[in-house]
Amino acid sequence: MAVEEMISHDAIAKRIGELAARISDDYAGKEIFAVCILKGSVYFTADITRRISVPCKLNFIKVSSYDGTQTTGRVNIDYGSELDISGRDVLIIEDIIDTGTTLGFLKSFYAGKSPASLKILTLLDKPSRRLTDITPDYCGFVIEDKFVVGYGMDCNEKYRNLDYIGIYSE
Ligand code: IMP
Ligand code: MG
């Protein structure tokens, strides 16, 4: 069992600064309705929202996937399904997009609730594993197909509080 550093704390912070600047430009004159997907996106959300210069409301949802062995697993919103997003400029904040199942579900769930706009921000993207046609609007780093932990991401609830992103191996 080992964790090998893949993206340092400094590299994460630098990239977050770049993304925050772009997002602040894109949303100039608007208010962002941020939706943080618990638990993995907590640190990313906390860090990037503090570097975004437009007003930003913080919201949280928790999702889980049922039928874990099925590739097109169903997703359930365990917490936060009642958020009123109509007329809001919604920015969904995710830690990592893998198959895209979670965000595919959330995107269609929210699209039916009349947001003014709906975009996806992800820290990491593993496009090689994609099973849906989800593309993030903002992405920190594209990575190869490795299981990563740290900076919010876990393996059985461990390693979330590492301040860097590492490759996990048994
Ligand atoms: P998707 O629905 O397949 O895109 O899965 C996305 C979710 O799976 C992420 O929000 C993570 O919680 C989890 N996940 C996917 N890949 C990893 C990884 O490499 N490390 C930790 N969690 C991951
Ligand atoms: Mg997640």
Probe residue for ligand 1, chosen from 153, 155, 168 as the CB with the greatest number of ligand atoms within 8 Å: 153
Query: Which residues in 43-107 belong to E strands, given as ranges?
Result: 56-65, 75-79, 89-97
* CA atoms in the 13 A half-sphere facing the CB of 164: 12
Catalytic residue status for 98? yes
pLDDT score at 169: 94
Which ligand 1 atom is at minimum distance from the Cα of 41?
A: 10
**pTM exceeds 0.75 for this model:** yes
The predicted model gives 106-127 an average pLDDT of 96
Q: Could you tell me the two tokens for 154?
A: 């876990």
Among the residues of the chain, which ranges form H helices? 9-26, 42-49, 101-111
Using CA atoms, how far residue 87 sits from 54, 101, 112, 165, in Å, is: 17, 25, 12, 35
- How many residues comprise the chain? 170
The predicted model gives 142-159 an average pLDDT of 96
- Report which DSSP code applies to 62: E
User: pLDDT tens digits for 1-59?
Assistant: 899 999 999 999 999 999 999 999 999 999 999 999 999 999 999 999 999 999 999 99
Residues 46 and 58: their CA atoms lie apart, in Å, by 9
What burial letters (b/e) apply to 147-170, b meaning 16+ CB within 10 Å?
ebbbbbbbeeeebbebebbbbbee
Share of the chain above pLDDT 70, in %: 95
